[in-house]
Amino acid sequence: MTRAHELIAALGSIPHETNPKLVAQRSRDFYWYSPVLKRQLEGVTGDIIVSPRSEAEVAEVLSACFRLDIPVTPRGGGTGNYGQAMPLSGGAILDLRSLNRVTSIGPGHVTAEAGAIIHDIDHAARSQSGQELRMHPSTARNATIGGFIAGGSGGVGSIRWGTLRDLGNVISARVVTMEAHPRVLTLTGYDLHKVVHAYGTNGIITSLDMPLTAAYEWVDLLMTHNDWLRLNQFSDLLACQDGILLKQLCTIEAPTPHRYFIRHQKYLDPRGHVIVAMVAPHALSSLEALCRQERVTIAFRSDILPENEKRALPPAYELTWNHTTLRAIRMDPSVTYLQTLYPNPGHVGKIAEMSALFGEEVPGHAEYMRFEGRISCDGMPLVRFTTEERLEEIIRIHEEHGCPIFNPHRYTLEEGGMKQTDEVQLAFKRLVDPKGLLNPGKMIAWDDPDYDFNKAGYYLFPGIKKEGTFADEIPSLD
Ligand code: FAD
C-alpha cells in the first residue's frame, strides 16, 4: 500500500480532494503580486486537500501525516501575498475553512474557530453585542482569522491598536501540534509570539480568543492636497489627535488614487495626493475643523451619499493596505510593490525623501499606525517593475536611507521579516513539529541553522518539488 492509500484510509470520513485541478487551485495564494515569487513558485502544487471539520479531526489528520511523513500546509482564505500558504514540498493542504464557528461573544472578546471569515466574526459581534474586532486586514471579506494571525501583521484598526504582535491584541490561541499523538496547547501572553506570524510552521491554530471594542458606523473619507509632504504632515497631525477616533488612516501619492481607484475616480483630481480615513461619526465635526484649519480638502465622505451611490462603491478600507496594490496591478500588471517601515522619529520626512528619490518609479503609500506606542508608518509603495536587479537596488537604497524592508519578494519568514532567526519560534518548532513537516521551506533557521542572512541573493529551499514525494503516488489511487 502506498502512503497515498494509507493517508486516504486514515482520513476515513474527513472530507478530502485529489482532483489535480482543484488541488492546484487551492495551492495558490497572492504570490503573483511579486514577479520574483511568480517566477519561483509558479509550478508549486500540493497533492491532496484535506478539510477537517473540528479540532479533533485536525488532530487525526496531523497524526496520520506525521506517521506517513507527509508535509502539511495549513490554509485559510489564501490571501497571503508572500507565498505563505504555498505547499513548497507538496503533500497535504489543510483547508481550515470548515472550522468556522463563532463560539462565544462577551464583553470585550470573541472566541472563534480559526477558519471563520473575519467579516463574519465582525458581523456576529456587531449584531449580538454592538462590538467589533479591533483590527482586520483589508481582505476581511475573504480572509480567515487563523490566516490573519498566522500570516498577517495588522491593518484596518492599527492606527488605534497597533499590530497583532502587540500584547493584548490576541488574547489566546488553541494550537494542535504535529506529532504522533497531537497535543492541544493554549497559548497566551508572550507565548503567542510562537505562532503569531509563523506562517503555520509551528502548529495548527484551531481557535482564537480576540479582543473586541465598541462598534461604530464608520464614515469613509477621502481628503486631498496637492503637496505630498504637506499631506503627510497633516496625516501625522491627525494621527496624533487623541480625541478624534479613527479606524484607518493612510496617504497615497498621486497619480495612484485617481488612476486606479476607478469607482472613486469622479471624486478625485489626477494631481491630488489622497488620505483614506475611517472616522467615527461623532468625531467628524472635529476632523472637519482640523481640515479647515490646515487647508486640506475633504473630497469624499460616505455619510452624505445617497444609499444607491454608496452601495456601488467598495468600502474605503478596500482602497488601503494591499488593496491599493491590488487595484494597481489589476490595471497595470507591470506594477509590484514593497513593504517598508518609515520609523518614528522622522517618518514623515522619510516618506517625502523616498518619493523625491524615486519619483514615478516608486509612488508612495504610507499606512499610519501605532507602533510601540508612537505613530509610525508602514510603507507600501508601488514599484514600476523593470528588472529583478533594479528591484534589489530600490530595496538597498531604502535600507541605506533607514527604511527597513520586509521583503514581499521572498517566501521565507526571515527574509520577509527582520532577516534574522526568531529563536522563540525555532525553539517552539522543535517541540511541536519535530519532523519539520509543517509548511516546509518557510523557516530558514529550521532548514539551515548556519544560513548567513547578510549574503546577497535569496534563499532557495532545496525541498521544492523533490523527486519521490507523495505527489508521485497519487496517480496510483486510480
Ligand atoms: P492564508 O493566506 O490562507 O494563510 C496565511 C498563512 O497562515 C499561511 O502561511 C498559512 O499556512 C497560515 N495559516 C492559515 N491558517 C492557519 C491556521 N489555522 N493555523 C496555522 N497557520 C495557518 N495582511 C495584513 O496583515 N493586513 C492587511 O491589511 C492585508 N491586506 C491585504 C490585502 C490584499 C489585497 C492581499 C492580497 C493581502 C493582504 N494581506 C494583509 C495579507 C493577507 O490577506 C493577510 O495575511 C490575511 O489575513 C491572510 O488570511 P488568509 O485566511 O487568507 O490566510
As a whole number of angstroms, the distance between CA 363 and CA 348 comes to: 15
Give the cell for residue 78.
489564501
Per-chain mean pLDDT for the chain: 95
Identify which of 54, 79, 196 to mutate to test ligand 1's pocket (most ligand atoms within 8 A of the CB): 79
Cis amide linkage into residue 345, ω under 30° from 0:
yes
Give the cell for residue 227.
503637496
Ligand 1 atom nearest to CA at 142: 52
Check residue 471 and give its pLDDT. Answer: 62
Check residue 458 and give its pLDDT. Answer: 82
308 alpha carbon to ligand 1 midpoint, in Å? Answer: 32
Identify which of 55, 61, 148, 278 to mutate to test ligand 1's pocket (most ligand atoms within 8 A of the CB): 148
DSSP notation for 151-176: H----BTHHHH--TTSTTSS-EEEEE
Burial classification of residue 84, based on how many CB atoms lie within 10 Å of its CB (0-12 exposed, 13-18 middle, 19 or more buried): buried
Domains and their CATH numbers in the chain: 3-95+424-476 (3.30.43.10), 102-215 (3.30.465.10), 219-400 (3.40.462.10)
440 lines ligand 1 (CB under 6 A): no
Per-residue confidence at 1, pLDDT binned at 50, 70, 90?
confident
Check residue 264 and give its pLDDT. Answer: 97
211 alpha carbon to ligand 1 midpoint, in Å? Answer: 19
* Tens digits of residue pLDDT in 276-306: 999 999 999 999 999 999 999 999 999 999 9
Torsion angles phi and psi, residue 92, rounded to 5? -90, 135
Query: Could you tell me if 38 and 31 are in contact, meaning their C-beta atoms sit under 8 angstroms apart?
Result: yes
**pTM for the complete prediction?**
0.97
Per-residue confidence at 477, pLDDT binned at 50, 70, 90?
low
Residue whose cell numbers read 471594542: 213
301 lines ligand 1 (CB under 6 A): no
285 alpha carbon to ligand 1 midpoint, in Å? Answer: 36
441 lines ligand 1 (CB under 6 A): no
177 lines ligand 1 (CB under 6 A): no
As a whole number of angstroms, the distance between CA 443 and CA 438 comes to: 10
* Atom 6 of ligand 1, nearest CA residue: 151
Check residue 478 and give its pLDDT. Answer: 45
As a whole number of angstroms, the distance between CA 434 and CA 388 comes to: 36
* Atom 28 of ligand 1, nearest CA residue: 137
CA 263 to chain centre: 24
- Nearest of 459, 415, 385 to residue 33 by alpha carbon: 385
199 alpha carbon to ligand 1 midpoint, in Å? Answer: 9
- Nearest of 156, 32, 143, 45 to residue 408 by alpha carbon: 32
> Max alpha carbon distance in the chain (Å)?
76
Query: Could you tell me if 157 and 133 are in contact, meaning their C-beta atoms sit under 8 angstroms apart?
Result: yes
As a whole number of angstroms, the distance between CA 170 and CA 374 comes to: 20
415 alpha carbon to ligand 1 midpoint, in Å? Answer: 17
Indicate whether 120 pLDDT > 50. Answer: yes
Q: What is the pLDDT averaged over residues 235-239?
A: 98
Check residue 282 and give its pLDDT. Answer: 98
